[in-house]
Amino acid sequence: MTQPQSNVRRDRADHIVDVKDVSFGYTASPVVEDISFTVERGEYVGMIGPNGSGKSTLLRLILGLHEPDEGQVELLGHPARAFAEREKVGYVAQDVTENTKRMPITVAEVVLMGRFPHAGFGRVTSDDRDRARQALRTVGIDHLADRKITQLSGGQRQRAYIARALASEAELLVLDEPTVGVDAESVDAFFDLLTDLNDDGMTILLVEHDIGAVLEHTSRVICLNRELYFDGDPVAFADSDALDRAYGTNVRRDDGVVVS
């Protein structure tokens, strides 16, 4: 590209995520194949697919944790593997505290980690602490700041990780099956929080096994099973046969695939 025009540049910068012809496989057989899509600023995208469909792998590719075999992934206009401007990317995985069960660390300390990329090798300032505290208020658990993170319920813990992303001033929130192990009542409140954040301008990319939740809450559905089966409006998705094709014919149409 020679002499990029200014409007082209702005165009590219507004692609928060840009996946181009990406294929990847751990062994000879591809886990994801020839996938392309972009996520624009302010979108709320839900990614669904059956178990082993490669949706978590695709997420890892987007985050730069894997190098694609073919194609390119750009995050915030930079190659994903360059890990540039990462304070703008918030990441919430399945409840990771399982592995670090006994590690003594408070909620406030975890949320403050969101400020670490800003602080670099310098000291954490009182401004950093204020922002962390503010983020805790936003997700509604500032009264738990001095609790050990292991003492929180699954739903509270996921809120803490979102607070960490907010403290980091993230523009993109990437969630990998965040509601696994979270009780039903908290799940609803959790999705309400995501909707609020999206209303405030946060771009959200959500991988979720609960199809109903994705159709209900997101504004765009990406359905994949190794390849891309559907990309578009939740209503159009419900009307299409993409679900049957992606999941195979005998899919359990459980919890309310019908959109209200």
DSSP H or E segment with residue 129 = helix 126-138
Cβ distance to other proteins smaller for residue 89 or 221: 89
Cβ distance to other proteins smaller for residue 185 or 241: 185
d(CA 184, CA 198): 21
Cβ distance to other proteins smaller for residue 182 or 206: 182
Cβ distance to other proteins smaller for residue 110 or 214: 110
Closest CA to 75 of 147, 22, 135: 22
d(CA 47, CA 218): 10
CB of 39 to other proteins, least distance (A): 16
**Residue for token pair 């600023």:** 41
d(CA 183, CA 150): 16
CB of 24 to other proteins, least distance (A): 16
CB of 200 to other proteins, least distance (A): 19
> Residue 16: is it exposed, middle or buried by C-beta count within 10 angstroms (0-12/13-18/19+)?
buried
**Sign, CA torsion 171/177/179/180:** negative
Cβ distance to other proteins smaller for residue 159 or 226: 159
CB of 190 to other proteins, least distance (A): 7
Closest CA to 46 of 241, 210, 161, 228: 210
Cβ distance to other proteins smaller for residue 61 or 246: 61
CB of 66 to other proteins, least distance (A): 11
Cβ distance to other proteins smaller for residue 8 or 96: 96
Kindly list the distances between the CA atom of residue 2 and the CA atoms of 8, 9, 77, in Å, as whole numbers in the listed order. 12, 12, 17
d(CA 111, CA 108): 5
CB of 233 to other proteins, least distance (A): 29
Please report the beta strands in the chain, taking only residues with DSSP state E, as ranges in sequence order. 15-24, 32-40, 44-48, 70-75, 78-79, 89-92, 172-176, 203-207, 220-225, 227-232
CB of 17 to other proteins, least distance (A): 13
**Interacting residues with other proteins (CB under 8 A):** 63-65, 83-87, 89, 91, 93, 96, 100, 102-106, 108-110, 113, 116-117, 119, 121, 124, 140-141, 146-148, 151-156, 159, 161, 168, 174, 181-183, 185-186, 189-190
**Sign, CA torsion 176/58/120/138:** negative
